[in-house]
Structure 1
Amino acid sequence: MALVKTVYNLLFRRTSTFAITIMVGAVLFERVFDQGGDALFEEINRGKLWKHIQHNYEKKNEE
């Protein structure tokens, strides 16, 4: 219960800190959700994306 009271006093007691907490939380959630979606997409499509098969189609310059 002490942890809940501490979090409330630090982040949610004043309107300004509450608003900042919500904004920072939204930005962090967006970043985590976006990177998680990209990681899932790449895992599902492993071996089908251009960066995985590029070496099969491009020649290296041998100078």
Structure 2
Amino acid sequence: MKAIYNTLFKRTSTYAVGIMASVFFFERAFEVGSTTLFESVNKGKLWKDIKGKYE
């Protein structure tokens, strides 16, 4: 725990960078997860699934 404090929380600048990096990775994970969920719920109804019928 002390190593984490000395690495990230001791200085405000590293704390802010840590928060920004965490937000970036959370946003990417949330986007991928929500897209995967949306596509699994709507499987067979999306353009990529029915494109062959209309081209």
Q: Same fold (TM over 0.5)?
A: yes
The residue aligned with 2:28 is 31
Q: Partner of 1:46: helix, strand, or coil?
A: coil
2:43 pairs, out of 37, 41, 46, with: 46
Identity %: 53
Matched residue count: 55
Deviation for aligned residue 1:44: 0.4
Structure possessing the higher radius of gyration over alpha carbons = 1
The runs of 5 or more residues in structure 2 that have no matched partner are none
- CA distance in 1 between partners of 2:47 and 2:33 (Å): 20
Aligned-pair Cα RMSD in Å: 0.8
With normalisation by structure 1, the TM-score equals 0.81
Q: Which runs of 4+ in 1 moved over 2 A?
A: none
- CA distance in 2 between partners of 1:43 and 1:13 (Å): 44
Q: Show CA shifts across 1:5-24 (max 9, x none).
A: 21111111111100100011
More helix by proportion, 1 or 2?
Answer: 2
